Structure 1
Amino acid sequence: MHHALAFLALSQLKGFGPARLNLLLQQCEPDGDDFYADCLRYLPQIPGLNAQQVQLCCQRIHNPFHGEWKERDQLLHWLAYDQHQVLTLGHADYPELLQQIADPPLMLYLAGNAELLHQPQLAIVGSRKPTIEGFNDARRFAGALSELGWCITSGLAEGIDAAAHQGCLQANGKTLAVLGTGIDRVYPRSNQPLYEQIYYQGLLISEFPLGTAPRGHNFPKRNRIVAGLSVGVLVVEAALKSGSLISARLACESGREVFAIPGSIHQAQYKGCHQLIKQGAKLTETIQDIHEELAHWLQLPESYSSSSFGLTTDSSHFSSNGLLSAKDSLPAVGAFSTAKNQQAVASNQSLELFTGHSHSADPSSSNMASTPDAYNPNLTAVAIKQKAPSVPKFDNPQQEQLWQAIAQGAGNLDALVMATGFNTGEISQNLLMLELSGRVVQEAGIYRVNLSV
């Protein structure tokens, strides 16, 4: 605890950024027995710092439990909760990849499963106001990649970030959310259910002190952590001045892979992606494009190949839209051990997220697995369309339009506003009526149609 409070004192020292921190760490070993004594000795020697503030910082490092200190009291109260912790730069558990960036954060506030920091991560970023197509692409890529073993990292913003987190969680994957606020603040407020689900099924991360409100200049700073934690960054939709391009640039500067999904030349949301591709980002149409660059990070069995997940490079297996086609099949079950058979099951789910078809794990069976009438969280909008459910009767045209939009993958309020053009008041009122009638259900902030009604 003393260590965390010492770094809290350092983080409150104005003008004490990465450059001055490096000067201090050249003289002080964070995990060393003499760290505090070394700090007290060398800190006053660092040029450019306010002498009075340095004196107060040294007092707090020497005796962190003495005197009034509001931020200390807030931190101790916050740390009393389950799965809350603070990680400091130089600590043995500090993420190695993040430590390699030019200005790693001094402190990380963590809420959730901190072990995920050391799992292979892929960042998915993009527009806060994506098209429906972009929203669905982010959700499907996140779900399929998580089934391959990737943790999905993003920034919990509205739009592409939220879609990536949702897609990962719907596929029972693990996701990390890097906040641009204090870890005890939720922004935007509409992501409160998603924030809570990530706390229980993933990891929330922030470098900002408790209580920090959303401020515009903090979000680009947050992006360097998203990129720094990840071995690659996938940009789904981004305008030319998008913050997602900052993440891509930082990833490139740190030697990470950058991927971008192309789109229409007539839509501003894709111009940033097209610029990245011109600058050397990999044009990405399928998860195969990502997997072939980064599969070595997953530590898969030696006999594993990308074909185990239907990720073949044979162009005959791809449909005209670049996604895996329904005729893909899996290796014979007899060629796998029990563990590898489980990989084949995961493969079916990955393919389902792209094509809307369920595949039998046994290639000797040409019949697709039957789909129950009840909701299957792995179904995509394509699958819902192919089932051709009978459209129920509605009280008004607005409810029918909302139901159709949800059936096509618009799962949250922002997506429904874009899909229907209704204002949030109209949407909220009609969603309530749809929920009461059982035609629509909500789980963890995501709306879906109830096909059993």
Structure 2
Amino acid sequence: MGAEQAVWLAWSQIPGVGPVLIQRLQQRFGSLSEAWFAPPEALKTVAGIGQQTLEEIQSFRSKTDPEALFQQHSQTNPHFWTAADSSYPRILLEISDPPALLYYRGKVDLKENQGLNRMIAMVGTREPSDYGRRWTHRIATVLARNGFTVVSGLAEGIDTQAHISSLEAGGRTIAVVGTGVDLVYPPRNKFLYEKILQQGLVLSEYPAQTQPERSHFPRRNRIIAGLCRAVLVMEAPSKSGALITAHLANDYGRDVYILPGSLDNHRAIGCLKLINRGAQVILGEGHLLELLGTIPQLDQPPPRPDLAPDLATVLASLTQLTQDLSQSSVPFDLIVQTCGLDPGTASSALMQLELLGLINQLPGMRYQPL
């Protein structure tokens, strides 16, 4: 699986090869590793690969070692999942164009990634009315107190209010950004960004030091919609990025809920149009919780088999380290230091755990729990 993850990274770096084409390659060849070594004649059978794209692929493959690329990329981007990782958010894999790579900073909650803790998006205008801001606060607060993770985009206005209110209520929040996760945009949200790192997560499909560009934010919106079981549009004019998120959510089969507004408020016209097209209306906190309670849970992962003591010790140490360090994988040396076993015993246990399908070995002698 380590090799497969390196190949996912490699494919994602090829000009003209985006998330949809990567999905087609995986479906056509069964794995991206098989696609990496496929002859040009076979690649040309994949929809979307024309002569120019094929030449880009051939050129990139001829000069690229995926594992070396993985090691180099990890130097400046230490925390990211590929869609081949077991820790990659399961619910994102349901959409047609999941990001091949997902970078993160902050506190990882694997239950969120497994779909066991439900995530709800809250989006809206950057210039909300007092009404929109007040109800965003009320709903984010009740969601946080009822165990939902609030997801938004760290933009000014509704996004900022949703993040702040969920944090103040003691809940988790996730900010999906259109820059690298190491940058703060808008800059005035620097303090909020730092708070989210302590109590939640910042996600992006863009690598470190990626600057904000207009085209990034509509692409970012698909991740917000894809991560969540439902999207709440709190206040949005007729031209708003929040409407893009709502339409994507509908395309992905997510529920869309709307805070109703007044015809006299231009900031609410987009919301009213969504209601007219069939989106569900939020009639209060209790009503929303009832609606969200009808969303079915994702199937839970199958139970793990009983393990020998050494295997159980190593697996428990590995899982605890990934949670404490907010990393998806941990180096061998750190596992040995933590589990209290000698290196030979720990190495044997890791090999058996991998054979059982409970962990992955990644390049650089790093290990990842499944």
The secondary structure found in structure 1 opposite 2:150 is strand
Question: Does 1:75 pair with 2:74?
Answer: yes
Distance 1:93 1:297, change over 3 A: farther
Partner AA of 1:271 in structure 2: I
Q: How does 1:264-283 map to 2 (within 5 A)?
A: 264-283=262-281
Distance 1:43 1:283, change over 3 A: farther
The secondary structure found in structure 1 opposite 2:133 is helix
Instruction: Tell me what 1:214 maps to.
Output: 212
Paired residues of 2:3 and 2:33 also in contact (CA < 8 A)? no
Instruction: Tell me what 1:24 maps to.
Output: 25
CA deviations 1:188-229 (Å, max 9, x no partner) are 001111111111211111011222111111111111110111
Q: CA deviation at 1:52?
A: 5.0
CA deviations 1:337-394 (Å, max 9, x no partner) are xxxxxxxxxxxxxxxxxxxxxxxxxxxxxxxxxxxxxxxxxxxxxxxxxxxxxxxxxx
The secondary structure found in structure 2 opposite 1:26 is helix
Question: Does 1:54 pair with 2:57?
Answer: yes
Paired residues of 2:4 and 2:84 also in contact (CA < 8 A)? no
Of 149, 152, 176, the match for 1:151: 149
What percent identity do the matched residue pairs reach? 37
Partner AA of 2:82 in structure 1: T
Q: CA deviation at 1:37?
A: 5.0
Aligned-partner Cα distance in 2 for 1:54–1:86: 23
The secondary structure found in structure 1 opposite 2:174 is strand
Partner AA of 2:291 in structure 1: E
Instruction: Tell me what 2:170 maps to.
Output: 172
Aligned-partner Cα distance in 1 for 2:53–2:260: 50
Distance 1:229 1:206, change over 3 A: same
CA deviations 1:249-293 (Å, max 9, x no partner) are 111111111111112211110101111111111111312222222
Aligned-partner Cα distance in 1 for 2:11–2:183: 23
Paired residues of 1:176 and 1:203 also in contact (CA < 8 A)? yes
The secondary structure found in structure 2 opposite 1:182 is coil
Paired residues of 2:153 and 2:224 also in contact (CA < 8 A)? yes
Aligned-partner Cα distance in 2 for 1:60–1:37: 18
Question: Does 1:95 pair with 2:89?
Answer: yes
Q: How does 1:352-391 map to 2 (within 5 A)?
A: none
Distance 1:297 1:147, change over 3 A: farther
Unaligned runs of 5+ in 2: 298-370
Paired residues of 1:156 and 1:191 also in contact (CA < 8 A)? yes
Question: Does 1:183 pair with 2:186?
Answer: no
The secondary structure found in structure 1 opposite 2:77 is helix
Partner AA of 1:92 in structure 2: S
Aligned-partner Cα distance in 2 for 1:72–1:216: 30
Aligned-partner Cα distance in 1 for 2:150–2:10: 32
Aligned-partner Cα distance in 2 for 1:138–1:26: 41
Question: Does 1:9 pair with 2:10?
Answer: yes
Structure 1 length-normalised TM: 0.59
Aligned-partner Cα distance in 1 for 2:296–2:194: 27
Q: CA deviation at 1:8?
A: 2.7
Distance 1:63 1:295, change over 3 A: closer
Question: Does 1:128 pair with 2:131?
Answer: no
Q: CA deviation at 1:61?
A: 5.3
Aligned-partner Cα distance in 2 for 1:283–1:163: 20
The secondary structure found in structure 2 opposite 1:236 is strand
Unaligned runs of 5+ in 1: 80-84, 300-453
Aligned-partner Cα distance in 2 for 1:100–1:242: 25
Partner AA of 1:108 in structure 2: L
Consecutive aligned runs of 4 or more in structure 1 exceeding 6 Å deviation: none
Q: CA deviation at 1:43?
A: 6.7
Aligned-partner Cα distance in 2 for 1:12–1:5: 11
Paired residues of 1:24 and 1:42 also in contact (CA < 8 A)? no
**RCO higher in structure (CA 8 A, sep ≥6):** 2
Q: CA deviation at 1:133?
A: 2.4
Paired residues of 2:83 and 2:99 also in contact (CA < 8 A)? yes
Instruction: Tell me what 1:249 maps to.
Output: 247
Q: Greater Rg, structure 1 or structure 2? A: 1
Q: How does 1:262-341 map to 2 (within 5 A)?
A: 262-297=260-295
Distance 1:236 1:60, change over 3 A: farther
Aligned-partner Cα distance in 2 for 1:42–1:23: 16
Q: CA deviation at 1:239?
A: 0.3
Partner AA of 1:16 in structure 2: V
Structure 2 length-normalised TM: 0.71
Q: How does 1:189-200 map to 2 (within 5 A)?
A: 189-200=187-198
The size of the alignment, in residue pairs, is 286
Paired residues of 1:28 and 1:39 also in contact (CA < 8 A)? no
Bigger mean CA offset, 208-217 vs 3-12:
3-12
Paired residues of 2:20 and 2:96 also in contact (CA < 8 A)? no
Aligned-partner Cα distance in 1 for 2:282–2:210: 36
Paired residues of 2:180 and 2:210 also in contact (CA < 8 A)? yes
The secondary structure found in structure 1 opposite 2:202 is strand
Paired residues of 2:9 and 2:82 also in contact (CA < 8 A)? no
